[in-house]
Amino acid sequence: MSAEDTIEVRAIVTMTTDALQTIVANAKALVGPDARGHYRVDTADLVSHMVSRFLLERDFEAYVKDLSNYPKVTSETMQ
């Protein structure tokens, strides 16, 4: 899939606190502290990257094509 085949969608994602804590811990381990002991990593961008990569690699397209994966949708729930 090429970059022109994708778009960026801003969304609220629900995940466990354990998943978020793992991402933060792994980010800190990967970048390490600077000279003052601070970690310079944007964990929000990293979460976005991880979720996007997961969706692309785990065939989200097939998931969304299956109507049984959708919650009950009405005009009231979509407002």
CA 33/CA 41 separation, integer angstroms: 10
Phi, psi of 33 (to 5 degrees): -80, 155
pLDDT in tens, the chain (79 residues): 666 789 999 999 999 999 999 999 999 999 999 999 999 999 999 999 999 999 999 999 999 999 999 988 777 766 6
**What pLDDT score does 2 carry?**
66
pLDDT at res. 68: 93
Q: What is the per-residue pLDDT for 75? A: 72
Domain ranges of the chain: 3-69
